[in-house]
Amino acid sequence: MTADHLPFGILVKQMVAAVADVSAGDLDTAVEPELADLLVDLMGAGTQLEAVTAHVAARVDASKIWTNDGSKSCGAWLGRAAHRDGAECAAVVRRGRQLRTMELVDAAHTAGRLSSRHVVLLATAAGKVPEHFATDEEWLVARAVELSYADFVKLVNHWIHWAAPDDAEDDALKRYRNRKLNLSTGLDGTGMLDVEFEPIGYAIFTEALRRIEHELWAADWAEARSRLGNTASQADLWRSNAQRRYDALIEMARRSAAMPTGARKPVPLVTVHVDHPTLTGRICELSNGTQITPGEILPLLVEADIERAVFDTKSRVIDLGRTSRLFVAGTRRAVEIRDRHCTHHTGCQVPAEQCDIDHIEPWEHGGPTNHNNAQARCPKHHPGRHRKNPPKRKHSGERGSAVNGSGDRSSGDRSSGDRDSGDRDSGDAGDDDDGDHPAA
């Protein structure tokens, strides 16, 4: 008898027995490359099992059999019966209900192509704009299958903002009204800080904190190198990342206190994306990738610098020619805007502004210094970042193009021990506006 004709109860018992056999298996009988492939297979099988579990939960929920012992909900009953957390069980039941209303999502989840997190995200989107979801479900499922989860989250947020702009503005207003900061003093003089940021404030705060934290990291690294030489590693730094971040916060407060009255504040930089190749409609997000609304940006425009980013046109000069090895000013900024984050195939999400800009075709092999031959790579995924003395090549004597624009950014010279490589150096101090623009 085939599986199609076996009672569902027998199939489940066979599956439980098979899982028990797998659990008792000896991992040492498989080599590491095989285990890597098996891990992917197990993740897919686990997703399929999660889908079946959600289907069964939906049927049990609809049957009301869980009311027999006086339970108030199927999730509460399942939590007691399975000795699991009630919230976890309620989520399984809820996902089962959601799958009943999303046929294409259900099919992809059952096939192991969409995870439970994909289902929850898509169900949230369907709940916000059900009329648009019914039309675009197939398109969204296709994007979920081909994109990384992080990129798909961004896409869904863009889609929701496009489908329901008024609701998005209402949600943004709620986020702003919910901002808060609480300070609690301990008995021995210690204190606790509890903050809920709105997106723009969070971006400004974290960018400022990150800059100071990086300064402290560079000092710690220099101290470790002076003690241990080239054998120094992250483990040899005298303070942890969390301690360094705390010290950076205190340093931020000290610098704020030292700022003279009436001093010029940093000017927000707003980048307008035009004809972006991957999405249609507006693209409103911070440099850290957080989706925001036009209404959240509007208050910034009174004092902001505006930067237009246009690709595949001649509206902005971004080609520095072949005489420069370093990506600077407009070229670097164009790559930051285009790539958004590290482009390594692993799906690394380090923001582009914290990345090195790397040549795709190596400069020493004739690769040009322009945005078409550039990619954002974080320090870990930049293959040449530890090279102290890059090989030289003969130059033709031609001059590079002049680059202008308020959003152009560059940075000073850095040693090889720094987290950023020389490809972030500036060859034109006149275009260096980095200190004036927080991450908003």
Residue 237 lies in a domain: yes
**pLDDT category, 406, cuts 50, 70, 90?**
very low
Which amino acid type is present at position 85? D
Q: Are residues 314 and 405 in the same domain?
A: yes
Q: Are 239 and 145 part of one and the same domain?
A: no
Which of 111, 139, 173 finishes a domain?
Answer: 173
**Boundary-marking domain end, from 258, 278, 299:** 258
pLDDT at 227 over 90: yes
Are residues 298 and 423 part of one domain? yes
Residue 41 lies in a domain: yes
- CA 412 remoteness from chain centre: 27
Q: Is residue 263 part of a domain?
A: no
Q: Can you give the pLDDT at residue 321?
A: 40
Pair (65, 147) in one structural domain: yes
Q: In this structure, are 307 and 327 located in the same domain?
A: yes
Q: Is 162 within the bounds of a domain? A: yes
Mean pLDDT of the chain: 79
Q: pLDDT grade, residue 158 (50/70/90)?
A: confident
* Same domain for 113 and 42: yes
Beta bridge partners of 193: 183
Residue 301, pLDDT score: 72
Residue 270 pLDDT grade (very low, low, confident, very high; cuts 50, 70, 90) = low
For the chain, give the percent of residues with pLDDT over 90.
46
Geometric angle at alpha carbon 367, from 364 and 370, rounded to 5°: 125
Q: Give the pLDDT of residue 2.
A: 57
pTM (two decimals): 0.66
Claim to verify: residue 143 and residue 210 sit in the same structural domain: no
What the block records as the tokens of 296 is 């959240």
Q: Is residue 185 part of a domain?
A: no
In terms of residue numbers, what domain contains 231? 197-258
Band (pLDDT 50/70/90 cuts) for residue 134 is very high
Residues 251 and 289 in one domain: no
Number of domains observed in the structure of the chain? 3
- Examine the fold and report which residue of 258, 285, 301 is the final residue of a domain before the chain moves on: 258
Closest listed residue to residue 167, CA positions, set 128, 131, 135: 128
Lowest mean pLDDT among 89-93, 128-132, 400-404, 422-426: 400-404
Kindly list the distances between the CA atom of residue 303 and the CA atoms of 75, 89, 188, 295, 367, in Å, as whole numbers in the listed order. Answer: 52, 50, 44, 15, 39
pLDDT interval class at 280 (50, 70, 90): very low
Residues 40, 136 share a domain? yes
283, 293 Cβ separation under 8 angstroms:
no
Would residue 186 count as lying in a domain?
A: no
Same domain? For 306 and 226 the reply is no
Residue 287 lies in a domain: yes
251 assigned to some structural domain: yes
41 shares a domain with 72: yes
Q: Are residues 305 and 368 in the same domain?
A: yes
Q: What average pLDDT does the segment 353-379 reach?
A: 83
